Amino acid sequence: MNPALRWLAFATVLLLRVADSGAAHAYAQFGDIRYPPGFAHFEWANPKAPKGGEIELVPPLRITNFDKYNPFTLKGTPPPGLSALLFESLLTGMLDEPATGYGLLAEDVEVPPDRLSVTFRLNPAARFQDGSPVLAEDVKHSFDTLMSKQAAPQYRVIFAEVKRAVVTGPRSLRFEFARPSAELPLLVGGLPVFSRAWGSGKPFDQVVLDKPVASGPYRIGKLNFGKDISYERDPNYWARDLNVRRGLYNFERISYRIYKDTTAQTEAFKAGEFDYIQVFSAREWARTYRGAKFDSGELVREELKTRNAGDFQGTLINTRREKFRDPRVREALGLAFDFDWMNRQLMYNAYTRVRGFFNGSDFESDGLPGEDELALLAPLRDRLPAKVFSDPVPLPPSTRPPGSLRANLRRARDLLAAAGWTYRDGALRNAKGEAFTVEYLDSGGSERFITPYFQALAKLGIRGEYRRADFALIQKRLDVFDFDLFTVRVPGRETPGSELTDRFGSKSAENEGSSNLVGVRDPAVDVLLQAVNGATTRPKLVASLKALDRVLRHGYYAVPQWYADTFRVAYRAGRFNRPAVAPRYYQPEEWVLQTWWRK
């Protein structure tokens, strides 16, 4: 995920309950608030955890360098960890309650009965790291800046229906909405807040190497610019005794080390250069994370069970390319991908097949549409393929007996022929005689599964080109949608929301730097996204997301890959403690940095 989107995605775990009772410490849209006013701390945090010590780790997303300190602009790559450790928002999520938000910079929040606005009152104790108070003008400045064209375009999509921010007092402000909404308050509640002094008045897109003036628990410490970076805990952190922060962020220093390739990174871990890593490769986990140091207990390998919604991981198909515009072509590309063989031969049967965009959750569509989905889909019948109503939702092809890759390729050949692509003169060609080629963009590590995939495509007459490049170059190409195929992993979410507009909305398809990499431009999808964003009850949210999943799967926008139902982590033994109670939903790095502590 683009680092500039971290806080936008974070906002999806802050869902507010609209009530008539005035301001409150927390709200939940889909359920009761677990913690009452004045609660001591979150159950999964240890308030007695000692502060101090250091943890060294590597970025979970593969990057090879960084070139700026501003995570909110389009160009460049910010350091790992910067957004989460330096910037804070008006509200904060709770790992056990994905549908609840509690006050952080704001000590209370109020939504009127008409749901056309939300008012926040800031905590008088809130301070930026330069000692200045966090004021309503700073929050308004943050919002206005992120809505400007100098910031990454995702913010203008996510906050499109927020009309304005109005300062109503030194520490109070109101956000006004274009439509009644229970979700829009949560989005502005997740707004990253920074000081008006950051950048000294320069245009925001020129604020590159100015260190952020933010309010979070850490500030930038020692670094080897572009390579490694450390964050040091702010000794004057304003919220260290706040209940939503008690027992959290216990390390005195958090350091990220960046390595050029996976092999160097793995060997560095074994040599003791850093403390903790999350492993995404089943092959590496089974074969590389073994040996004497693991046998002796010096290094620990652990598979953490998760109850999170399943991730989406797939090879995205850029439909802006003329050759990919026909869904029959995209379906054919998926038929050539032999997951069952790869999982068995290359990945130790460690993975579950991705079926759609909301795997293993209440939002995953199944079979034929039910009455709740039909209520949303029926008015769109003229805009949707008939198969959406007549056929079960598509499942990824299988090669388990009686199926086979050969049978799948025959089906793919027929689909390609129907779309105007036939084999002649040694290649699959269209009516103009142009050969069908695909380029797969990668920063390294995908060769094992791309090679057999390209071999299968070659049997159809499609020539595959593997293009390996540095992460920074890849990001530049993705920002301007200059690619054929590219694999992404999107962590599963318990409450998907407005971030989906940036991933699948028609307007985002035209905005460089957006998350709509596949280029979805479907009026029916836009209507369903409005239903998702306007859902006022969980059943309505479930129905709208299932309908969205169904329509997207019938569009064949990606070649589904796989996801794991555990987190594979390895760390140095004897250095860390963690709370006895683990949160219900979490991402490993977030959980480690928030709740663990150094022995």
Instruction: Please write the tens of the pLDDT for every residue from 430-446.
Output: 999 999 999 999 988 89
Decide if pLDDT at 182 tops 90: no
Each residue's pLDDT tens digit, 464-486: 999 999 888 999 999 999 999 99
The CA distance from 69 to 60, in Å, is 18
Query: What single DSSP character describes residue 212?
Result: P
Decide if pLDDT at 21 tops 50: no
Return the pLDDT at 256: 97
**Nearest to 255, CA basis, from 596, 593, 599:** 593
**Residue labelled with tokens 């979805």:** 520
Contact indicator for 434, 463 with CB cutoff of 8 Å: no
Query: What pTM does this model have?
Result: 0.81
CA distances from 441 to 78, 447, 449 (A): 21, 11, 13
Return the pLDDT at 2: 46
Name the strand (E) or helix (H) holding 165. strand 162-169
Query: What single DSSP character describes residue 508?
Result: H
CA atoms within 13 A on the CB side of 300: 12
CA atoms within 13 A on the CB side of 342: 24
Decide if pLDDT at 498 tops 80: yes
Rounded percentage of the chain residues whose pLDDT exceeds 70:
95
The dihedral built from the CA positions of residue 558, 561, 562 and 568, taken in this order, carries a sign that is negative
Decide if pLDDT at 20 tops 50: no
Return the pLDDT at 60: 85
Peptide bond into 402 cis (omega under 30): yes
**Nearest to 242, CA basis, from 125, 369, 84:** 125
Return the pLDDT at 126: 98
Decide if pLDDT at 7 tops 50: no
The residue-averaged pLDDT of 22-32 equals: 70
Each residue's pLDDT tens digit, 354-403: 999 999 999 999 999 999 999 999 999 999 999 999 999 999 999 999 99
Each residue's pLDDT tens digit, 86-133: 999 999 987 777 777 899 999 999 988 888 999 999 999 999 999 999
The CA distance from 377 to 543, in Å, is 10
Decide if pLDDT at 177 tops 60: yes
**Nearest to 466, CA basis, from 489, 487, 483, 450:** 450
SS3 71: coil
Mean pLDDT of the chain: 92
**Residue labelled with tokens 């105007």:** 420
